[in-house]
Amino acid sequence: MLSSCKKEVSENFNLYTGNPLNDTVWTRGFTSAIAIHSLFENLVPDLIVDSFEVSSGKSLRFGDSLEISFNAGSCVGQGSSVPQGFARLELIPMKRKGDFIRMFRPTVAENGNLLETGGGFFIRVSKDDKELTLAPNATFKLKFNDVDLPASNMQLFYGREGVPAPLKGIDTAFYWIRDFDTTSLKTWEKISNNPLVPSYRGYELNSLNLRWVSANRYLDSTLPKTKVTAVLPANFTNKNTVVFAVFANQKTVVNLKGDYPSRSFNTNNIPLQASIKLISLSKIGGDFYLGSKDISSVEKVTSYKFTPGKISFGDLIRYLNNL
């Protein structure tokens, strides 16, 4: 059932209201009404929550590897005023490829340029349910570990969001944009000589923006690229399914967009000879589906057919957490 193929497109797609599995109708536009948004509302990991005194600032530590520090008065509300009292800090770390899928934040920059990531975060600060921003020229410090060996040439990137900017669900306008300061991020390590105590290695950065922050580097843009297409059974449509290309040897995640004319999912910028896995996630009715196709070396024949299978939500989360 897993093979390369060419897709034959039929215009006879009919909606059967009695059973969502029989709905083979694609949509021409990706709107907030599409059912797939509910899948990603469920996939979002739990927030890490803490608080700090805004006017005095604080360094907050989470375990042995995550630290975030705010200077006094660095967070402001409307009118650039510094609120009094404690602010709520919310964090969601993205350290593995599955985390970027769960947050629907592919490692793609402006103009579709691909990135390798060392990790990213969603960081929100609020006071009395109103979101705060950083004061002009203020920064916060973030120190975190990479689940892989950190690279010496990672740079600071921010998330460019759609308007309005959703936390849950799919932001189709999202991409990563590099900071004006292109200096390589500082790396650090905490080595343990005790086999029962883990060692940590990671990055340290100073960010001018809250919300989406990451350590990334561009992939080699001179490599020849090709279009990769995923073809699924007719009832897996762009209303209930998303597809990602996950690179085997680095933390790079690319979203394949649904193509209405061909009733398939594709992306144009996968390097030739790359080793990738195509992964489909679907929610049809109340059921979840997962499909995958391993591609050891992307060649010129780039249309791949595979059939998703039903999976429990718990098993789906475990699968993504182990990518």
Q: What is the pLDDT of residues 63-77, one digit of tens each?
A: 878 999 999 999 999
Least confident of 131-135, 169-173, 197-201, 275-279: 169-173
From residue 84, alpha-carbon distances to 51, 88, 127 in Å are 13, 12, 9
| Structure confidence at residue 15 (pLDDT) | 45
- Say whether pLDDT at 19 is over 60: yes
> Could you report the per-residue pLDDT of 255-287, keeping only the tens digit for each?
999 999 999 999 998 999 999 999 999 999 889
74-78: Cβ within 8 A, 24+ apart: 74/134, 74/135, 74/138, 74/139, 74/140, 75/125, 75/132, 75/133, 75/134, 75/135, 75/138, 76/132, 76/133, 76/134, 76/135, 77/127, 77/130, 77/132, 78/130
- Say whether pLDDT at 101 is over 60: yes
Q: Can you tell me the distance from the alpha carbon of 243 to that of 278, in angstroms, rounded to the nearest whole number? A: 7
pTM of the model: 0.90
pLDDT tier, 30 (very low <50, low <70, confident <90, very high otherwise): confident
CATH 2.60.220 in the chain is located at 48-218
| Structure confidence at residue 309 (pLDDT) | 96
**Average pLDDT of the residues in 128-140:** 95
As given in the structure block, the two tokens for residue 137 are: 């020229």
| Structure confidence at residue 170 (pLDDT) | 85
**Average pLDDT of the residues in 172-189:** 95
- Say whether pLDDT at 143 is over 50: yes
> Could you report the per-residue pLDDT of 213-253, keeping only the tens digit for each?
999 999 998 889 999 999 999 999 999 999 999 999 999 99
Q: Which fold has domain 48-218?
A: Chondroitinase Ac; Chain A, domain 3 (2.60.220)
First to last CA, the chain: 23
As given in the structure block, the two tokens for residue 2 are: 């897993």
Least confident of 74-83, 122-131, 254-263: 74-83
CATH 2.60.40 in the chain is located at 3-30+222-321
Q: What are phi and psi of 208, to 5 degrees?
A: -90, -5
- Say whether pLDDT at 186 is over 70: yes
| Structure confidence at residue 4 (pLDDT) | 34
| Structure confidence at residue 18 (pLDDT) | 63
| Structure confidence at residue 205 (pLDDT) | 96
Residue 19, helix vs strand vs coil: coil
Pick one of 1.10.1740, 1.10.10, 3.40.50, 2.60.40 as the CATH number of 3-30+222-321.
2.60.40
- Say whether pLDDT at 298 is over 70: yes
- Say whether pLDDT at 7 is over 70: no
